[in-house]
A = this chain, B = another copy of it.
Amino acid sequence: MGKIKTGWKLPPLPLPVALLGANVSGKANFFTIVWFNMLQDDPPLVGAAMSKSHYTRQGIKDNKTFNVNMPSSSMAEIVDYCGLYPGSKVDKSNLFEVFYGELETAPMVNECAVNIECRLMDSKEFDTTELIIGEIVEVYCEEKCLAENKADYRKMDPMIFFMPESPYIKTGDVIANAFEVGKKFGQ
């Protein structure tokens, strides 16, 4: 047993699953993303990489707004549906109870525990994809997912996608506290 060179293009990674929301031609649209993360904390920037052919991309550019909605594991079927079929083929505007926030043009999914509302700030193009970069203007959270004014991951019950071909999975047990357990190392 040991290490082998796999030749894989896509490494196996546990990635957060979200619905990216944006209005396209005046209608709410949502697609499933796992290629997103934070880029900076102050001001807070989030980046989402998507194919240049993505239907939603033009909507984001037109309105200069989008958002990232965090679904719970009970939403797996509809979340996967949003990833399977493009907005150019199916109308997703009535799939969810939509609400709008500060920016007025970024449709957020009420059924998702957390909604991250973003103003388009910048972008960076690659060969076939573009990194859409948004500044977070507000984070909405379902009250029932809070514990001591913080989001509780067990209540939020987020979905993880194990890239590239594997299942959606749930979060599991606590391993240790970050920024604490490392202080024990070497002692």
Given A9-B136, A47-B47, A80-B182, residue A128 in contact with residue B40 (CB < 8 A): yes
Chain A residues bordering chain B, tally (CB within 8 A): 96
Given A80-B178, A185-B80, residue A3 in contact with residue B99 (CB < 8 A): yes
Given A3-B115, A35-B39, residue A81 in contact with residue B168 (CB < 8 A): no
Q: Per-residue CB proximity of A9-38 to B under 8 Å, as 1/0?
A: 111111110000000000000000011111
Closest to A149 in B: B6
Do the beta carbons of B172 and A127 come within 8 Å of each other?
A: no
Given A12-B114, A169-B171, residue A76 in contact with residue B140 (CB < 8 A): no
Q: Per-residue CB proximity of A136-159 to B under 8 Å, as 1/0?
A: 101111111000001101001011
Do the beta carbons of B44 and A49 come within 8 Å of each other?
A: no
Closest to A141 in B: B6
* Separation of A141 and B4 alpha carbons in the complex (Å): 5
Known A5-B139, A12-B151, A77-B176; 18 more pairs at CB < 8 Å: A1-B143, A5-B138, A7-B138, A12-B156, A13-B70, A14-B16, A35-B37, A35-B38, A37-B37, A38-B49, A38-B163, A39-B49, A39-B131, A43-B127, A77-B184, A81-B182, A83-B178, A168-B174
Q: Residues of A with Cβ closer than 8 Å to B? A: 1-16, 34-47, 49, 68, 70, 73, 76-85, 99, 101, 110, 114-116, 124, 126-129, 131, 136, 138-144, 150-151, 153, 156, 158-163, 165-186
